[in-house]
């Protein structure tokens, strides 16, 4: 059993330079360094310290499995970052007919290893979790194995490649049954990886040899079909990845004003507020003049959305019997976002799991039974799971469920999470209803929300100036609100530099979200329960993160989102849902503090939040 480092046992440590050394620097160097180091520490390093995996009380062998998975993750990220030079340096397979794509043929087996590794991590974890999840994951693994096997299509239903995948599936089921009630052992992963890897590699190699006399290179085609089919299982993580930029934008606005407030005189805050107001006024005027996604109806729907979220918060406070004067702070909302993004993303994409399983089963039946009328009919019925109406209804139901959960948890005196769920629920219900029942020309946009927020902040500033009630606390709160609206409207500030390197922004946006989640969202795996022990949680976390970047790497190298799954489009959905909810919620919390002349919470260091609202 590995021992945890002393630093981990003592909890998160600050990653700033020693104060004794910095204090001796000249002020012109000391103050900028302290501001920069504190900003980087709070925005980037603190989320990693609090959300990373901790090597404490891990069973024997888990460290080795984690190292293997992390190396594979780095390889997948490197394939994305260097996709352009790899395509230029390596021979490309170019598809003929159907969905056009080109792919570096030499990387085929790397992707096979990454896929097998992801599935093996998932299957090994599922052996020791709740029974229902174990059955679902094992069935999915068997379907994936048989699906790859049908590509080896010699004369007759059973070729060598197909027999290999059938045998592997039977052995896998037997192994799961035998080990189901045993404790986790590291060699289980080795057995599953070897079993799946050998059978799939043999099947693909056999299929390629069989097809080569006809001049068909079946390897890249098989990879494309597999990626397009099972790649849809990465949609939940892509939706959750869309929350990363909004989380970073909110945190950056809070910390930027915080370091200015702590290290510079009030005059600097005044200058910054004037600069922000001038910047926002110029952006608003230019946006309106250009007519970019802004119309009177969109401004009205932005106000209505904000009013609905405020109303939901008031209802939750009333149910809790607490003072409305103590809503969650923007910092508290941001800290909780990553914890709810993944399960909500899974709920929003819940129809894709059955759809993928049904498509895999259908393709296996087609491979073994040939064309049949009932299979064609079943194919049409399965397609309903991915229909836009089905997806819209499902998301509407998820939004309603979030509102119900928010109400129930508020009644149990829980705080922060109910407000966050209510904000997300309002956004999801609004978007789903708009997609189902009518045109979306009236629907709010990031530009319209930013304009409304800027107008409100400007109006409050003018009011406080006229009434001579403008305080330092109010200036700080308005500065955060204005900076947050600016970053929200220009939130491509993170993905655009990566997009310039990669060649297209969609992949860059998802990549940032995936890497951010990998670095900051593993804390749930640091604890275990009887139904979900710690080793299983660790492997589930690694499987999800590795599979997502593997699908994204294939998209980057194929240079055609339609040849796999366009994860960028689903990350945009997550950005629209989570970004809008967290930004509107943070603005509501910040402006509530401005109205009550309360010092904004700009730093979480050393602070603990109450589980219940304060009363007087």
User: 520 — alpha (psi -120 to 50), left (phi > 0) or beta?
Assistant: alpha
pLDDT value, residue 303: 93
Measure the CA dihedral 516/519/522/523, to 10°.
-110
Taking each helix axis from N to C terminus, what angle separates 472-489 and 446-467, rounded to the nearest 10 degrees? 160
pLDDT value, residue 96: 62
Nearest Cα to Cα of residue 441 among 297, 271, 563: 297
Residue 217 above 80 pLDDT?
A: no
Nearest Cα to Cα of residue 127 among 542, 403, 515, 535: 535
Q: How confident is the model at residue 113 (pLDDT cuts 50, 70, 90)?
A: very high
Residue 145 above 50 pLDDT?
A: yes
Residue 602 above 60 pLDDT?
A: yes
Task: List pLDDT tens digits, range 284-295.
Answer: 887 777 656 577
pLDDT value, residue 1: 39
CA pseudo-torsion sign 383, 386, 389, 395: positive
Pick 24 or 241 by higher pLDDT: 241
Distance CA 587, CA 48 (A): 25
Share of the chain above pLDDT 90, in %: 37
User: 270 — alpha (psi -120 to 50), left (phi > 0) or beta?
Assistant: alpha
pLDDT value, residue 16: 46
Q: How confident is the model at residue 4 (pLDDT cuts 50, 70, 90)?
A: very low
Residue 5 above 50 pLDDT?
A: no
Task: Say if CB 306 and CB 452 are below 8 A apart.
Answer: yes
Q: Helices H, strands E: what count in the chain? A: 27, 2
Task: Say if CB 127 and CB 142 are below 8 A apart.
Answer: no
Write down the mean pLDDT value for the chain: 84
Q: Please count the other Cβ atoms lying within 10 Å of the Cβ belonging to residue 459.
A: 10
Residue 362, SS3 per DSSP: helix
Residues 6 or more apart whose CB falls under 8 angstroms from that of 597 comprise: 469, 471, 473, 474
DSSP assignment of 44-97, as one string? IIHHHHHHS---SSPPTTHHHHHHHHHHHHHHHHHHHHTHHHHHHHSPEEE--S
| pTM of the predicted structure, to 2 decimals | 0.86
Q: 104 φ, ψ to 5°? A: -65, 110
Residue 607 above 90 pLDDT?
A: no
Task: Say if CB 443 and CB 298 are below 8 A apart.
Answer: yes
Query: Lowest-confidence range among 3-7, 179-183, 259-263, 495-499?
Result: 3-7
pLDDT value, residue 157: 56
pLDDT value, residue 63: 93
Q: How confident is the model at residue 225 (pLDDT cuts 50, 70, 90)?
A: confident
pLDDT value, residue 2: 42
Share of the chain above pLDDT 70, in %: 86
pLDDT value, residue 616: 32
Burial 263-291 (b: 16+ CB within 10 A, else e): eeeeeebeebbeebbeebeebbeebeeee
Strands, DSSP E only, in 125-264?
A: none
Task: List pLDDT tens digits, range 324-369.
Answer: 446 788 888 888 888 899 899 999 999 898 999 988 998 888 877 7
Query: Lowest-confidence range among 65-79, 102-116, 216-230, 297-311?
Result: 216-230
Task: Say if CB 112 and CB 590 are below 8 A apart.
Answer: no
Task: Say if CB 365 and CB 379 are below 8 A apart.
Answer: no
Residue 272 above 70 pLDDT?
A: yes
Q: How confident is the model at residue 443 (pLDDT cuts 50, 70, 90)?
A: confident
Q: What's the rounded mean pLDDT across residues 30-41?
A: 84
Residue 220 above 50 pLDDT?
A: yes
Taking each helix axis from N to C terminus, what angle separates 388-411 and 296-320, rounded to the nearest 10 degrees? 40
Residue 119 above 70 pLDDT?
A: yes
pLDDT value, residue 479: 92
């Amino acid at each position: 059993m590995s021992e945890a480092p002393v630093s981990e046992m003592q909890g998160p440590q600050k990653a700033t330079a020693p104060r004794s050394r910095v204090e001796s620097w000249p002020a012109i160097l000391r103050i900028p360094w302290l501001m920069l180091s504190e900003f980087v520490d709070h925005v980037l390093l603190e989320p990693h310290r609090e959300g990373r995996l901790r090597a404490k009380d891990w069973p024997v062998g888990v460290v080795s499995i984690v190292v293997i998975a992390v190396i594979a993750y780095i390889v997948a990220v490197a394939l994305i970052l260097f996709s352009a030079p790899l395509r230029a340096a390596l021979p490309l397979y170019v598809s003929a007919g159907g969905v056009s794509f080109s792919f570096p043929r030499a990387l085929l087996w790397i992707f096979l290893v990454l896929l097998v590794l992801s599935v093996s991590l998932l299957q090994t974890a599922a052996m020791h979790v709740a029974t229902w999840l174990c059955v679902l994951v094992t069935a999915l693994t068997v379907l994936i194995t048989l699906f790859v096997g049908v590509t080896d299509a010699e004369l007759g239903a059973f070729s060598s490649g197909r027999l290999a995948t059938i045998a592997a599936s039977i052995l896998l089921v037997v192994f799961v049954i035998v080990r189901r009630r045993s404790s986790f052992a590291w060699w289980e992963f080795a057995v599953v990886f070897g079993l799946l890897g050998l059978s799939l590699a043999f099947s693909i190699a056999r299929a390629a040899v069989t097809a080569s006399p006809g001049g068909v290179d079946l390897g890249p085609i098989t990879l494309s079909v597999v990626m397009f089919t099972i790649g849809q299982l990465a949609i939940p993580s892509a939706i959750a990845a869309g929350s990363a930029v909004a989380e970073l934008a909110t945190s950056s606005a809070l910390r930027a004003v915080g370091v200015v407030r702590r290290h510079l005189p009030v005059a600097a805050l005044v200058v910054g507020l004037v600069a922000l107001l001038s910047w926002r006024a110029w952006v608003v005027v230019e946006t309106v003049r250009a007519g970019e996604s802004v119309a009177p109806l969109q401004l009205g729907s932005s106000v209505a959305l904000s009013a609905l979220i405020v109303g939901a918060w008031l209802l939750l406070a009333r149910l809790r019997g607490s003072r409305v004067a103590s809503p969650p702070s923007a910092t508290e909302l941001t800290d909780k976002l990553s914890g709810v993004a993944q399960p909500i993303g899974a709920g929003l994409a819940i129809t894709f799991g059955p759809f993928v399983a049904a498509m895999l089963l259908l393709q296996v039946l087609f491979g073994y039974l040939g064309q049949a009328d009932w299979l064609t009919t079943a194919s049409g019925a399965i397609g309903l799971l991915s229909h836009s109406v089905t997806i819209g209804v499902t998301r509407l139901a998820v939004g309603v469920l979030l509102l119900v959960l928010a109400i129930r948890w508020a009644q149990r005196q829980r705080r922060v999470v109910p407000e966050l769920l209510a904000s997300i629920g309002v956004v999801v219900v609004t978007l789903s209803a708009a997609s189902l029942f009518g045109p979306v020309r009236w629907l709010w946009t990031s530009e319209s929300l930013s304009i409304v927020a800027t107008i409100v902040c400007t109006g409050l500033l003018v009011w406080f100036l006229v009434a001579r009630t403008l305080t330092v606390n109010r200036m700080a709160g308005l500065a955060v609100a204005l900076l947050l609206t600016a970053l929200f409207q220009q939130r491509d500030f993170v993905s655009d530099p990566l997009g310039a390197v990669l060649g297209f922004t969609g992949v860059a946006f998802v990549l940032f979200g995936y890497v951010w989640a990998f670095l900051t969202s593993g804390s749930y795996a640091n604890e275990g329960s009887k139904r979900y022990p710690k080793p299983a949680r660790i492997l589930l976390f690694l499987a999800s993160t590795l599979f997502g970047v593997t699908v994204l790497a294939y998209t980057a190298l194929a240079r055609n989102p339609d040849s796999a799954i366009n994860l960028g489009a689903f990350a945009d959905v997550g950005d629209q849902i989570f970004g809008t909810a967290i930004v509107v919620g943070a603005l509501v919390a910040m402006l509530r503090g401005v109205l009550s002349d309360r010092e904004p919470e700009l730093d979480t260091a050393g602070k603990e939040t109450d589980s219940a609202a304060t009363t007087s």
